[in-house]
Amino acid sequence: MKKLEMNKIMVLNRIELIEKYLTRLYKLKELSGGKFNLPDNFAIASYNLRSILEAVFDISGHIVTRKPNVVFDSYKDIAIKLGEQKIVPKKFAENELYKMGKYRNRLTHFYFEITSKEMYGIIQNDLGDFEIFLKYIKKLLK
C-alpha cells in the first residue's frame, strides 16, 4: 500500500488555530479564580480548550493515517499511535496526549460535569502541553 502524503496546508491551518486559541487561554490564565468563575469567562475557556483539542486530534489523526494499515478506535488511540510512530516521544503520547484525548471526550460528551475549578486548574497548569505538541508537529513539517 502506498504511503499517503501529508496535507501540510491543513496541518498549518490547525496549528494557526491552536496558537490563536492558546493566546486567548493565556489571557484567561491571568485572571484570579474568582474572575475566572464568571460564567462568560468559563464559557470562553471551555470553547477555546475544546477547539484546541479538536485541532490537536485533527492534526494527529491526519498524521497517523498517512502510514498504511494504521487503525484506531478513539482519540486516546491516536495519541498512542503518535508515540509508536515516533512523531512525539512515547512518554508524552502515553501521558499528556492520552489525557488530552480523554479530556476532549469529556468536554464534548460530559460538558455538563465540567466545573469552573477543574477548567481553571487545566488553564493554570497544562497549557504548556499544547506548546510541546506544536513543537513536535512543526519539527515534522520541516
Pairwise CA distance, residues 22 & 25, whole Å: 5
Per-residue pLDDT, 5 = 86
The model scores a pTM over 0.85: yes
Q: Quick one: pLDDT band at residue 15, thresholds 50, 70, 90?
A: very high
Per-residue pLDDT, 132 = 97
Q: Which CATH superfamily is domain 8-141 in?
A: bsu32300-like (1.20.120.580)
In 10 A of CB 66, how many CB atoms? 13
The three three-digit cell numbers of residue 74, written as one number: 478513539
pLDDT beyond 70 at 92: yes
Inter-residue contact 80 to 94 (CB < 8 Å): yes
Inter-residue contact 55 to 16 (CB < 8 Å): no
